Structure 1
Amino acid sequence: MNLKEVKKIKVKRIKESITEKEFKKLMSYVRGDDSIRENTRINLLRTFIFLYYCGLRLNEVQELKIIDVKNLLKNEMIKIYISKTSSERKVYLTPTFKKEINKLFDFTIEDDSNKIIHKSTSKKTGINNIVFIQQVNSKMKEILGEGFTSHSFRQGLITEMGSKSINIKIISNFIGHKNVSTTLGYIKPTDDQIKNSLVR
């Protein structure tokens, strides 16, 4: 195969997982970047915490309202509807997730019916799904580089749970998959996990 033929081959890129390290880098960068408009900053930060702690899909985060977050804080669990599978899944509150929520929400000034991710002109109106996916993925690529998308959060959470030997049925149920084989397809060991497993 000559160089010209090699260049024509479309390389299947490695899909990277979001670990705590990448999550902290994203949060720090977005908080410190003065070129990001305030509404965009809040939308990104809120999105990142819900993706990181819950493994939600981006469109599921966009459907959440302030009342959902209040109920999550009150009950330490909420049910959300997943349109992709026409089913429900539960989202749970952990102590670190609670701290992140309390940093990013001021419930004294936000109406219960407001979307947590919204346009700057209307807190009741969500952002177009395609536009928001592009915005989130573009910012992630800018901060973390190639191979990272909003789905990297979901993959990272599933991989971390798998590395802790959590029963695959529990992971599958938590993440909202109907089939365990779908969940298994998400488990992609990180570089550190592979390095730490080397025996020679």
Structure 2
Amino acid sequence: MSKQAKTLTTAELRRVLDYVATRKHSARNRAILLTTHYAGLRVGETASLRFGDVVDAGGNIRNEVHLSAAQTKGGNARTVFINERLRKELEAYIKSYSPTNPLHKLFYSQKKDSDGFTANTMTQFFHYLYRRAGIEGASSHSGRRTFITNLASKGVGVRVLMSLAGHRNISTTQAYIDVNDDMKRRAVELA
């Protein structure tokens, strides 16, 4: 069995965000990173997002993003809910990048005339981002695991987590939850 991606602490996520702030394309990179951490999207789903999937005709960030079957790993369409923190991040990002064609990718790549990131190039992006920020064991799946673990630690039920993650099997979702000492301390206080 392969090793699971690292779940980031708040301090580690801050460290990555601080690193992103010092680099080119910081608004885009921050939005990509936080899309995985605040919405739990897979890297392939994040790479597949089109501008019109996330931004309506009036230039507003949608409350819900509908992923088609072609955009998801399991080939099952699903709805992703955008929380207020992610909405603010995406609003800041689209101030610096707003294509005229809603079919253009939401996240442009280094070659702005290209079709944006692929799942593979975005996976590489995360590999180098975490490595350069000094976060060991983190990968393109870390945002998704962190999202699910954080919600579980706040008491969100596994069935809700399963639906948010787009999993078909509850055991898949359970494998994402990283149990930590804070969760155990809170649990024993309930006894």
**Same fold, judged at TM 0.5 (above):** yes
- Given the alignment, which residue of 143, 165, 182 partners 2:172? 182
> Deviation at 1:194?
5.0
After the TM superposition, which residues 94-113 of structure 1 pair with which residues of structure 2 at under 5 Å, given as runs?
94-106=83-95, 109-111=98-100, 112-113=102-103
> Deviation at 1:28?
1.8
Pairing 1:120–2:105 present: no
Pairing 1:147–2:137 present: yes
> Deviation at 1:43?
4.0
- Given the alignment, which residue of 6, 26, 29 partners 1:16? 6
- Whole-Å Cα distance in 2 between the matches of residues 42 and 75 of structure 1? 19
Give the structure 2 partner of residue 53 of structure 1: 38
Q: Which has the larger radius of gyration?
A: 1
Distance 1:126 1:145, change over 3 A: same
User: What are the Cα deviations for residues 104-129 of structure 1, in whole angstroms up to 9, with x where unaligned?
Assistant: 11278422222122233334512343
Q: Give the TM-score taking structure 1 as reference length.
A: 0.78
Q: Give the TM-score taking structure 2 as reference length.
A: 0.81
- Given the alignment, which residue of 66, 71, 78 partners 2:65? 78
Distance 1:21 1:179, change over 3 A: same
- Whole-Å Cα distance in 1 between the matches of residues 30 and 81 of structure 2? 19
- Whole-Å Cα distance in 1 between the matches of residues 122 and 3 of structure 2? 23
Q: Is the 8 A contact 1:46 1:116 kept in 2?
A: no
**114-123 vs 188-197, which deviates more?**
188-197
Root-mean-square deviation (Å)? 2.7
> Deviation at 1:45?
1.9
User: What are the Cα deviations for residues 130-163 of structure 1, in whole angstroms up to 9, with x where unaligned?
Assistant: 2331221122122142211121111111111111
**57-66 vs 90-99, which deviates more?**
90-99
Letter of the 2:66 partner, please give it: K
> Deviation at 1:195?
6.4
Letter of the 1:68 partner, please give it: D
- Whole-Å Cα distance in 2 between the matches of residues 130 and 14 of structure 1? 18
> Deviation at 1:16?
2.0
Please list every run of 5 or more consecutive structure 2 residues that lacks an aligned counterpart in the other structure.
Answer: none
> Deviation at 1:76?
0.9
SS in 2 for 1:29: helix
- Whole-Å Cα distance in 2 between the matches of residues 108 and 15 of structure 1? 30
SS in 2 for 1:18: coil
SS in 2 for 1:106: helix
Please list every run of 5 or more consecutive structure 1 residues that lacks an aligned counterpart in the other structure.
Answer: 1-11
> Deviation at 1:166?
1.4
